[in-house]
Amino acid sequence: MNIRQNCIFSFEDALKIQPKSRLEKIINTLDLKPVLCKLDKPGEIKVRPKPYPAYAMLNALIAMRLENMGTFTQLVERLTYDPHLRYVCGFEPFGTAPSKSCFSRFYSKLAQSGCLETLFTSLVKQAEEMGLLDLSSVAIDATKVEAYEKSVPRKNIIQNGNAADWGIKSDTNGNPIKWFGYKLHIGTDVKSGLPIAMKVTPANCSDSSVALELVEKCCANTQSKIVYFLMDAGYDHREIYSVIRDKYHAQAIIALNKRGAKQPPEGFDWDGTPICSARYRMVYWGSYQGVNKFRCPHIMGKCDCPFGSAWCSDSNYRMVVKTKVKDDPRLFSSPHRGSANWQKQYNLRTYSERCFSRFKENLGLEDGLNVRKITKVETHAYLCAITMIAAVIAINQDSSTRSSAA
């Protein structure tokens, strides 16, 4: 007959001596005080017959995103049958788990308070202080988010800027994609691939209309100087170029959208390259303090001009043309549009696509979306972003601790 001996340690003591799980490390990086202060009744959300701590409810939602759970039902089942998960989140390990309706009410309260944006901003600042963000270049882009609610005809949609709507955009192959729902706009640091600013809009909202708001959020959430803002052709609007240059003293790296565009001024090509009197494109020769320099293509060996090098200028240096970015921020840029340095910066824009991929494949941005209304969808997106940034911070803190111990 086997007799089970009594445990020397309690359940809580046994967990404390175990190696910390990934979720524990992430939760330890979060300072939830600003979040709890913004809730109506900080510290707990009351659900009969027993109150549950608000910080535990929020930790459970983060665990839901980390484990890529699709519904509140899955979360409740995990909490019910996993006492370790209950303990890590902050619930009583031998108590009951919150119900689905409890999480639903807490989620509504969280969405109304808007406190997750504060937590997100604090994590961005923490990542910047740890040197995880470079911030010299920020990519801005948007992705589709299909709505959880049932689609309705466009004529029945109330156009108040908050309801789900129909959107259409082209994929990488130019094929149109149509969906009913929302758009998630993100400013992404190109070094780490981490989001530093976010906004959710109905799907019919154009990318360019949100660009300047995202730029403002990027600059407000960080301390470092952002030099380049990288965007695709959907953001090709003169106001975006001008505001980024004049207000934020940065350079917009945006692909030209020639559809419906006017012809370039006389003497210039589409990308702002001067055309010499013999109708050859002049050679870009560098930029300095917002001034681009171009030289004669014949003297640079790029063409065989029938008029020779002395046709346009008597100088030994031959013909030189300079353009100033301030004269036309859209046509002229520093570095010059199409140059190797410009193209190198523009290629970094793909980091925003990687960020979207992690949101959708690892954090359940679309598959895990089981809430309606734009405020709750934005809360869902912030939970994804908070989980991603907190995970990166936790990994680097753990690596630093190991290095110090070694």
Among 44, 78, 113, give the residue marking a domain's end. 113
CB 47 within 8 A of CB 99: yes
**Residue 368 shares a structural domain with residue 291:** no
Residue 72 lies inside a defined structural domain of this protein: yes
Split into its structural domains, the chain has a count of: 3
pLDDT in the model for residue 42: 47
Tell me which of 336, 365, 383 is where a domain ends: 336
> Residue 271 is part of which domain span?
260-336
Residues 98 and 142 in one domain: no
Q: What is the DSSP letter of 275?
A: B
Q: pLDDT digits over 58-92, tens only?
A: 999 999 999 888 889 999 999 999 888 888 898 88
Q: Which residue has the higher pLDDT, 49 or 141?
A: 141
Residue in 361, 368, 372 with CA at minimum distance from that of residue 182: 372
Positive or negative: CA dihedral 94, 100, 106, 110: positive
| Cross-strand partners of 263 | none
Q: Residue 201: is its pLDDT beyond 90?
A: yes
At 104-118, the pLDDT tens digits run 989 988 888 888 999
- Predicted local confidence at residue 314, as pLDDT: 67
Peptide bond into 49 cis (omega under 30): yes
Contact 86, 95 (CB under 8 A): yes
**Total-model pTM:** 0.86
State whether 279 and 246 are in the same domain.
Answer: no
Is there a single domain that holds both residue 181 and residue 195? yes
Q: Is 400 helix (H, G, I), strand (E, B) or coil?
A: helix
Instruction: Look at residue 293 and tell me if it is in a domain.
Output: yes
Residues 144 and 76 grouped into a single domain: no
Q: How far apart are CA 291 and CA 250, in angstroms?
A: 14
* Residue 4, in any domain of the structure: no
Average pLDDT over residues 221-237: 92
Chain centroid to Cα 97, Å, comes to: 33
Average pLDDT over residues 241-252: 93
**How many other CB atoms are found less than 10 A from the CB of residue 288?**
9
Indicate the average pLDDT of the chain: 84
Final residue of a structural domain among 79, 113, 147: 113
Q: What is the CATH number of the domain that holds 158?
A: 3.30.420
Whether residue 140 sits in one domain with residue 220: yes
279 and 227 in one domain?
Answer: no
Both tokens assigned to 239: 């106001």
Q: Are residues 289 and 203 in the same domain?
A: no
Identify the pLDDT of residue 185: 95
In a domain, 397, yes or no: no
* Residue at 357 is within a domain: yes
Pairing of strands 251-254, 228-231: parallel
| Whether residue 404 has pLDDT greater than 80 | no
Q: What is the mean pLDDT of residues 321-334?
A: 89
- State the first-to-last Cα distance of the chain, in angstroms, to the nearest integer: 48
* Domain identity same for 182 and 225: yes
Does 220 map to a domain? yes
> Do 89 and 102 fall into the same domain?
yes
Asked if residue 378 is part of any domain, the answer here is: no
106 shares its domain with 172? no
pLDDT tens, position by position, 117-175: 999 999 999 999 999 999 899 999 999 999 888 888 887 777 776 788 898 887 767 78
Question: Is 67 among the domain residues?
Answer: yes
Single-letter amino acid code for the residue at 285: W
Helices 54-66 and 374-405 meet at what angle, rounded to 10?
80
Do 142 and 215 lie in one domain? The reply is: yes
pLDDT of residue 267: 84
